[in-house]
Structure 1
Amino acid sequence: MTTQEAQVHAQIEAVITRLTGPGGRFEIVPETVLGVTMPVMRRRGRAVGDLMAASRAWGDRDYLVTADRRISYAEHLAAVAALATALRDDLGVRAGDRVAILAANSPEWVIAFWATQCLGAISVGLNGWWTPRETDYALRHCRPSVLIVDAKRAESLTGLDTSGIAVLTVESDVPRLIAARAGAELPRAEVDEDDPAVLLYTSGTSGKPKGALHSQRNVLAVADYHRFSDAFAIELSGHTYTDTEPSPLRYLLTSPLFHIASLHNLVVPRLATGSAVVMHQGAFDVPAVLGLIDRERVTNWAPVPTMAGRLLACENLDDYDLSSLTAFALASAPSSIALQDRLRERFAFARDALVDSYGLTECSTAIAVATSADLEQAPGTLGRPILTVDLEIRDPFGVRVPDGTEGEVCVRSPFVMLRYWEDEAATAAAISPDRWLRTGDFGVLEAGRLRLVGRRSDLILRGGENVYPTEIEQCLEEHPEVLECAVIGVPHEDLGQEVAAVVVVRPGTAADEPELHQFAAGRLAYFKVPSRWLIRTEALPRNATGKVIRRSISL
């Protein structure tokens, strides 16, 4: 380490100690969480809904901005108060009830989320790309009392059993209820910090989506981590952080709100910091996104690698002023060293601002973050564990292994979910009695930095979306002519991976690729439908216990 590097390191450590040490604004102390002692912030909230009332301090500052709308904190608070009152008084929503949202990104999505939180109810983010079959499963699984749905997805509800569910449309019912209750006082519910707050679905290896249940503590811990990050940057620059000053940062939202990247780590923390959310709506479109960055002077953007890669193909970048971007974080899926290098070569904002991270829905936020310096010093790293996260690499018996040894990534922190919704077996398999989460991912710690050596052995990461082969295989095996099949991920230049299927059909069958593609498309979200196929009559390779040997399968 050079003298200059040592000085920078000492300055960073001094700032962290000042902020998180005794008496610091973000003082870290050991406390008991669900029966286990772990590090938490001493000064913290207890209810997510309380962030709503506190946001009154940000007044007329921008909170939500779209291509054609601009909603201030004050306007947002009034809308949330009205909708929450209507949900409580007209529809009987109470603490612990589920309010599900099935819609594309919109200000109404956000308003509905906060209205639910103010009642102590559980906000359920449903995947807007699901097919009716998948939506039907989730509705039966979480049993919401209210479903808020946009017009496009309302059409997909035809034929589904929604009895007992009050269905509200984004385009008409939500604005009507807000108008009818204009001027209402903001409700407040009494909740414990380990009460549930949010339910988000993540595909499971069992073939069905699993509901990751996040607590009030989980969500608020994420908001406090983002507060700390802002404070760290301010203090490192030589200024003094204060809670009462709103942040001037402006964050671009390009991923679905039913993901933790957009909800927990973007929309929620902004309410705590007073910064703005600039929301891109509709399918990802490079000119539209660059136009928003230019017009709204966006400072922070965390795209999935696929989005970042598509920027490289843009031929008219000079038409946009991107100089406001000071933070560029790749998120939600692994990115290659080559992609990172190309981004730095092409974009000035990526040379000093590019960071990478690793996280899971089950963990509410990032587990580890790699700074620009980390990526320069150790290309391919995912960085160091973030504040309050304990990370260990363990062997198959659950024993911690030395640094430099590969094993399963295990984490414990106030960010780790409560449990999987109504799935004791899956919860027990994932979370140990002492609250360590087994991620199912495999990696190695090198000089304190995490490097993944393989995501879950069968997980496919397509353009930022997790795709589990078992779910697709079970679907295809419902076809009468399919004997067995194996689904694998194969490299794709734009998406990172694409879904491929090796299907064993009955001898003499007429089943072909178009037929199987149509069969899958009617039952699975489009990103799960295989785009490459190999149809054969030869049996799949299996081991002695009868399990398919995926590494022996190729197209």
Structure 2
Amino acid sequence: MEIVQKLTGPGGEFELREEDVLGTRLPVFAGRARSLGEVLARSASHGDRDYIVTASRRLSFAEHAAAVASMAKALRDDLGVEPGDRIAINAANSPEWIVSFWAAIAAGAVPVGYNAWWAPQEIEYALAHTDPKIVIADAKRAALISEDVLTVERDVPSLTGRYPAAELDVPDVAEDDPAIILYTSGTSGRPKGAVHSHRNLTSVIEYHRFNDAMMGAFGIDPASRRYLLALPLFHIASLHNLAVPRLATGTAVIMTEGAFDVDRVLGLVEKERVTNWGAVPTMAHRMMEHGDLSKYDLSSLTAFALASAPSSPAFKERLQAVFPPARGALVDSYGLTESCTAISVATPMDLAEAPGTLGRPNLGVQVEIRDAEGRPVPEGVEGEVCARSAYNMIGYWRDPEATDRTIGDRWLHTGDIGVMERGRLRLTTRRSDLIIRGGENIYPTEIENVLAEYPGLRECAVVGVPHQDLGQEVAAVVVFADAAPPAEELAAFARERLAYFKVPSRWQVTTEPLPRNATGKVLRKQVENEIS
């Protein structure tokens, strides 16, 4: 397309050129910022425009910059934070979450987003794993943490107002230094910390700025866009692809707080004239089940994207039938925590032409489908989806073996099985054992390892089974030699050790051994069929 070539070609605002990135030649944006601190310093120029808006509060770009400068000075001068220290954030969505993130960046630290739904045992693991100098938590999560914390409700407001005249003084960093750690579910039974660099995030910013420029080329003013943030900030969808790039572009983030409530969210969309919304299929399903939505003025909402979990063409058709903003504007995408942003995006035109597609690789992303020996296969042949770009994480925190397996050659080996069809990606199998419940990735191994600690349990298998609202729910088959406990006791045992969304909601307690093949591997598909 001529517009794309003009924007990304030599001398263009988003010129792409090859540079060495961690030993590999990759396409990079020539005009990118070289650190998140640089992005933060520029953001104050947006002045009194809205940055973060909730149902009851507004924070302008200038107010945000002042709050971040004050808190960063307090972190360094009063609390002894030094460059490279980790600062953990364990809290529900709030403006303070975002301010704390940017204050950590401004202090030269590495913010670490903890999953706000973790159980105490999971939190304790992460605390030992990332060894944060400071932990910031809201009151609900602070009560689950064994060490001292800074509270969102009391300490963050105090720190953001302590030095009102403070100026940003961000330490120098290298582009490929860690900028943030976000946890992703671990196939080996422990969550892994995906390390994203400054280059990763500034590249994502340029990708979103490029999309804004494309809107402008078609007569849409990107400065008028207002983005709904309704997913947790410890996910890349909300942090990397919304809160961070919108600080750079000077556009508003409209944040929902608390559990997802259709009326409250749509009321906020109407009141704040939201234009863009990225949702998980569970949110879309709840809207479809909610009833008449016509009482809300949703005319401002011109872009609606599905992310974080797969959805069928039939689901998309039903959504478009009852939710007008999805008609002609629905976008689907495919990405992982490790990929930092989407690997591919399906436009409304893609979905109309090829229902079920996940679209074409994003700008700057190379995709290969590979066979079991790691060799690229032709279009139309199934294989593992592998992606390479300047967006991909630099590795897993303190886990060189997993890093080498997953991205040792700078190609991200997703473990997903897919096929390229006329330049578009379609997944045929997600990572074999992965359960996706309401957009949250759950690996059965982690739950099975916890259940294995229950006295008297001989073996168990955890699988995902269909659920109308959540997409999948967690089911467990547990085998005892005799005297099997009631399911309620097993659920209570799991709740003490796992985030609530990982606790099986369906149980089959038996004395019959699990079905296995000739090599002793559990036949998970048979287990699924028996418990469904």
- Counterpart Cα distance in 1 of 2:523 and 2:199: 41
Verify: 1:265 aligned to 2:268, yes or no. Answer: no
Give 1:113 shift: 0.3
Matches within 5 A, 1:239-254: 247-254=223-230
Give 1:517 shift: 1.0
Indicate if the aligned counterparts of 2:53 and 2:254 stay in contact, CA closer than 8 A: yes
* Structure 1 equivalent of residue 35 of structure 2: 47
Give 1:69 shift: 0.2
Matched residue SS, 2:108? coil
* Structure 2 equivalent of residue 486 of structure 1: 461
- Counterpart Cα distance in 1 of 2:240 and 2:264: 24
Q: Which string of whole-angstrom CA distances, capped at 9 and with x for unpartnered residues, describes residues 64-101 of structure 1?
A: 00010011001111000000010011111121110000
- Counterpart Cα distance in 1 of 2:270 and 2:445: 43
Aligned partner (choices 340, 343, 355) of residue 364 of structure 1: 340
Give 1:418 shift: 0.6
* Structure 2 equivalent of residue 421 of structure 1: 397
Verify: 1:227 aligned to 2:203, yes or no. Answer: no
| Letter of the 2:257 counterpart | Q
Q: Gaps spanning 5+ residues in structure 2: where?
A: none
Q: Which string of whole-angstrom CA distances, capped at 9 and with x for unpartnered residues, describes residues 258-313 of structure 1?
A: 00000000000001111000000000000000000000000000010100111112
- Counterpart Cα distance in 2 of 1:201 and 1:349: 32
Indicate if the aligned counterparts of 1:358 and 1:369 stay in contact, CA closer than 8 A: yes
| Letter of the 2:345 counterpart | V
Aligned partner (choices 480, 493, 514) of residue 505 of structure 1: 480
- Counterpart Cα distance in 2 of 1:527 and 1:211: 19
Matched residue SS, 1:302? strand
* Structure 2 equivalent of residue 547 of structure 1: 521
Indicate if the aligned counterparts of 2:71 and 2:162 stay in contact, CA closer than 8 A: no
Matched residue SS, 2:149? strand
- Counterpart Cα distance in 1 of 2:61 and 2:232: 21
Matched residue SS, 2:328? helix
442-451 or 335-344, which moves further after superposition?
335-344
* Structure 2 equivalent of residue 116 of structure 1: 104
* Structure 1 equivalent of residue 122 of structure 2: 134
Q: Gaps spanning 5+ residues in structure 1: where?
A: 1-12
* Structure 2 equivalent of residue 36 of structure 1: 24
Verify: 1:333 aligned to 2:333, yes or no. Answer: no
Aligned partner (choices 301, 319, 327) of residue 277 of structure 2: 301
- Counterpart Cα distance in 2 of 1:527 and 1:483: 24
Q: Which string of whole-angstrom CA distances, capped at 9 and with x for unpartnered residues, describes residues 428-468 of structure 1?
A: 111133x1110011100000100001110000000000000
* Structure 1 equivalent of residue 134 of structure 2: 146
Give 1:45 shift: 0.8
| Letter of the 2:439 counterpart | G
| Letter of the 1:367 counterpart | I
Verify: 1:212 aligned to 2:194, yes or no. Answer: yes
Matched residue SS, 1:264? helix
* Structure 2 equivalent of residue 5 of structure 1: none
Give 1:188 shift: 1.3
Matches within 5 A, 1:342-357: 342-357=318-333
Give 1:41 shift: 0.8
* Structure 1 equivalent of residue 182 of structure 2: 200
- Counterpart Cα distance in 1 of 2:404 and 2:522: 25
Verify: 1:18 aligned to 2:19, yes or no. Answer: no
Q: Which string of whole-angstrom CA distances, capped at 9 and with x for unpartnered residues, describes residues 481-539 of structure 1?
A: 211000000111110111011111122x1412111111111111110011111111111
Q: Which string of whole-angstrom CA distances, capped at 9 and with x for unpartnered residues, describes residues 183-212 of structure 1?
A: 211121100100000000001110000000
Give 1:315 shift: 2.4
Moved over 6 A (4+): none
- Counterpart Cα distance in 1 of 2:23 and 2:519: 38
Matched residue SS, 1:317? coil
- Counterpart Cα distance in 2 of 1:257 and 1:194: 22
Q: Which string of whole-angstrom CA distances, capped at 9 and with x for unpartnered residues, describes residues 113-170 of structure 1?
A: 001111221110000000001000000000000000111111112xx3x3xxx62111
- Counterpart Cα distance in 2 of 1:525 and 1:186: 37
Matched residue SS, 2:72? helix
Give 1:347 shift: 2.2
* Structure 2 equivalent of residue 179 of structure 1: 161
- Counterpart Cα distance in 1 of 2:214 and 2:436: 32
Verify: 1:277 aligned to 2:214, yes or no. Answer: no
* Structure 2 equivalent of residue 90 of structure 1: 78
- Counterpart Cα distance in 2 of 1:47 and 1:116: 13
* Structure 2 equivalent of residue 8 of structure 1: none
- Counterpart Cα distance in 1 of 2:208 and 2:137: 30
Q: How many residues align?
A: 529
- Counterpart Cα distance in 2 of 1:321 and 1:74: 30
Q: What is the TM-score with the length of structure 2 in the denominator?
A: 0.98
Indicate if the aligned counterparts of 2:484 and 2:509 stay in contact, CA closer than 8 A: no
- Counterpart Cα distance in 2 of 1:174 and 1:545: 55
- Counterpart Cα distance in 2 of 1:219 and 1:294: 31
339-348 or 105-114, which moves further after superposition?
339-348
Give 1:236 shift: 2.9
* Structure 1 equivalent of residue 51 of structure 2: 63
Calculate the aligned-residue CA RMSD, in Å. 1.1
- Counterpart Cα distance in 2 of 1:146 and 1:544: 51
Aligned partner (choices 335, 354, 358) of residue 382 of structure 1: 358
Indicate if the aligned counterparts of 1:105 and 1:256 stay in contact, CA closer than 8 A: yes
Matched residue SS, 1:318? coil
Aligned partner (choices 518, 525, 536) of residue 499 of structure 2: 525
Q: What is the TM-score with the length of structure 1 in the denominator?
A: 0.94
Indicate if the aligned counterparts of 1:49 and 1:119 stay in contact, CA closer than 8 A: no
| Letter of the 1:267 counterpart | A
Matched residue SS, 1:356? strand
